Amino acid sequence: MSESKRLIVLTGSYAEAENEGIYAYELNEDTGSLAKLDGISGVKNPTFVNVDAEGNKLYAIGEATSAEGNKMSEAVALSIDPATGKLSLLNRKNSISAPPCHIQRDPSGRYLILSSYHGGLVGLQAVTDNGEIGELLDEKKHEGQGAHPERQDKPHVHSAFFSPDGKYMMVQDLGADKIAIYSIDADKNELVLHSETKTHAGAGPRHLAFHPNGQFAYVINEVDSSITSFRYDAAAGTLTEVSTVSTLPDGYDGKENTTAEITVSNDGRFVYGSNRGHDSIVVYAVDADAGHLKLVEHVSAEGEHPRHFALTPNGKLLIAANRDTNNIVTFTVDQESGRLKYTGHSTGVSKPVCVKPVYL
């Protein structure tokens, strides 16, 4: 990294189109403080974003309305001025046929993947050669249901994450208690279902993070507040369950809890997850041989409903977005123990959902 690069945190949120919903902040790595650089309006509920740091571009989801008056998705491309952090709209295109909840970019940079919780859909969207949004190429609708009568009465696709080699895409379906593993047929521009992995009943898989060794994947389960370790067979493109741990303290009987985000430290020694209800970040140590998780600590999220969080590229800070208290907070990370310590810095942001720290 050159000394000229700054650490920018790109943020998505719940917002009406007339209000700012996508933000750029500069993060001071010495103090953990955030300074707003820009905010942009014009997109309804741009809750999740994906950043192409090399191309100085940001991709966001948005809610749109079809010609028939139905709720649907749009994909939005913005440019980021690395000198100022200023955000500028490049273009936007309609996408999958239900409201979106997650956006991902494939490793080649040719495609965006949009997920719809309400529609049980996953879609493949083109990225043009100049980095703008292209056409919707394919859309797959999931089927099935899970054990929970209310939360899992139908499919709820929540996210898509690529295997380390980029060959397969893991799509978490909270409603159907499964992870659908797809490949992309680049000749036909289609999503191809490769295999499916069932989770334990009533889990509600939401997000996934791979261990840097590529042998393990960790899935945070929203409905029953747990994390499941899977062994990943890269050659076969399959996940095999190893073990499951609770994200809550023993004997917890507080308000209803659902989980949200999960990530693995760069060195693979620690896994972090967020609890909404208990309002905490949970830290685990990783057994590098077997992939099991051992509890290290629970730390207050310093706000309510930590919907997303991220480690900085060097792993020294963790940034958490607390939707219901309208704040983004930062923690220092003890990289030997994995433990977190609140920096004392909290930044007011309306209904933040996603934080993506990148060097620009």
Mean pLDDT to the nearest integer, 68-92 = 97
How many residues are present in the chain? 360
pLDDT at 3 over 60: no
Contact partners, residue 45, CB within 8 Å, separation at least 6: 14, 15, 21, 61, 62, 63, 99
The model's confidence at residue 5, banded by pLDDT at 50, 70 and 90, is confident
pLDDT at 45 over 50: yes
In this prediction, residue 1 carries a pLDDT of: 47
pLDDT at 191 over 50: yes
The model's confidence at residue 4, banded by pLDDT at 50, 70 and 90, is low
Residue 15 near residue 318, CB atoms below 8 Å:
no
Mean pLDDT to the nearest integer, 103-112 = 97
The model's confidence at residue 60, banded by pLDDT at 50, 70 and 90, is very high
For the chain, percent of residues with pLDDT exceeding 90: 98
The model's confidence at residue 2, banded by pLDDT at 50, 70 and 90, is very low
The model's confidence at residue 192, banded by pLDDT at 50, 70 and 90, is very high
Calculate the average pLDDT of the chain. 97
120: left (phi over 0), alpha (psi -120 to 50) or beta: left
pLDDT at 88 over 50: yes
Residue 62 near residue 49, CB atoms below 8 Å:
no
C-alpha–C-alpha distance, residues 331 and 320, integer Å = 8
pLDDT at 145 over 70: yes
Mean pLDDT to the nearest integer, 158-178 = 98
C-alpha–C-alpha distance, residues 322 and 307, integer Å = 6
Residue whose C-alpha is closest to residue 343's, from 317, 323, 311: 317
The model's confidence at residue 70, banded by pLDDT at 50, 70 and 90, is very high
The per-residue pLDDT for range 6-32, each reduced to its tens digit, is 999 999 999 999 999 999 999 999 999
C-alpha–C-alpha distance, residues 38 and 25, integer Å = 7
Strands across the sheet containing 317-322: 306-311, 317-322, 327-333, 340-348
Query: Tokens standing for 41?
Result: 């309006």
Mean pLDDT to the nearest integer, 295-299 = 98
Amino acid at 269: R
The per-residue pLDDT for range 348-358, each reduced to its tens digit, is 999 999 999 99
Residue 332 near residue 317, CB atoms below 8 Å:
yes
Contact partners, residue 145, CB within 8 Å, separation at least 6: 152, 153, 154, 155, 175, 176
C-alpha–C-alpha distance, residues 116 and 113, integer Å = 10
The model's confidence at residue 252, banded by pLDDT at 50, 70 and 90, is very high
Residue 25 near residue 8, CB atoms below 8 Å:
yes
Query: Tokens standing for 26?
Result: 């500069």
pLDDT at 115 over 70: yes
Task: Reduce the DSSP state of residue 111 to 3 states and report it.
Answer: strand
